[in-house]
Amino acid sequence: MSEAFEFGGRLPAAFMNPGTSSFAEFLGQVAPDLLPGRRELPQGTGAHLTPDATTIVALTFPGGVVLAGDRRATSGNVIANRDMDKLFRTDEFSAVAIAGAAGIGIELAKLFQVELEHYEKMEGRSLSLEGKANKLATMIRGNLPMALQGFVVVPLLVGYDLAREAGRIFSYDPVGGRYEEHRYHSVGSGSVYAKGALKKLYSEDFSQQDAVFAAVQSLYDAADDDSATGGPDVHRKIYPLVDVITEDGHQRLPADEVERVATQVVEGRAQRPDGPTAPLR
């Protein structure tokens, strides 16, 4: 511990000045080694030895947006965790989910939570959804040194835009590029299969229940073809996590409700293993 933080010592000037409304910038000034992208890795650490979070899906419906994720994390060909939480409420009207290097991704998501809280306290108002998306892009860009070593984090940001009165989805690349996605999107190792399912199932007039059902169906399809994605585990009672954000704010769907939807999907697959089909015409 430095002398400045010893008991009875004087706090650094940065703690006493009004400072910036960005907590990440403040942290970079007073303790840069605490930022996820500035960490020093132990010698010999390889990205293939760290757990990776896998598949995340998001889709909009009239009145909001649904975010869902499987629960599996893998280290190479080994299941590192069966019930990981990859979805994080960032404020009342937004949430972020992570795919990629799990440890850094979780730190980044929690730092983003603090970033939004700090901004609101300093400015007396919350950021717009566009502002949140831009803030997260800057933070991902700060992780570039880690990404170049293989510790890539690819988050997905969703939220309800109060100005537009609609749900929105933002995706990112490893260098901080920000892209708005329309209707639906997926990231992670099983994303190709999840997006393929949503491409056939998605409808512009989905109800919230329809959107949740389609999200769980797409995660099942991802798990069906991607070994790193975990499907519903009825024996251990491990099911996807699902968040819904509307004008009423963020809601994590109760476990029993998700279990009911997942059980319905599993029972349907017993009769039709490849799942529901879209009409040809």
- Position 278 scores a pLDDT of 84
- Counting every residue written for the chain, the total comes to 281
- Position 54 scores a pLDDT of 87
pTM higher than 0.75: yes
- Position 30 scores a pLDDT of 61
CA–CA gap between residue 263 and residue 269 (Å, rounded): 10
Q: What is the DSSP letter of 93?
A: T
The residues assigned a catalytic role are 54
- Position 3 scores a pLDDT of 44
CB 210 within 8 A of CB 61: yes
- Position 28 scores a pLDDT of 60
CA 218 vs CA 72, 152, 193, 194, 254: distances in Å: 15, 24, 7, 5, 19
Kindly state the tokens that stand for 122.
Answer: 């300093």
CB 71 within 8 A of CB 238: yes
- Position 2 scores a pLDDT of 46
CB neighbourhood size of 200 (10 A): 15
Kindly state the tokens that stand for 137.
Answer: 């892009």
CB 214 within 8 A of CB 202: yes
pLDDT mean by block of 10 residues, the chain; 281 residues = 49 58 61 60 53 92 97 91 95 95 90 91 89 94 82 93 97 94 96 96 96 98 96 95 98 97 96 89 83
Number of alpha helices (DSSP H) and beta strands (DSSP E) in the chain: 8, 13
- Position 169 scores a pLDDT of 98
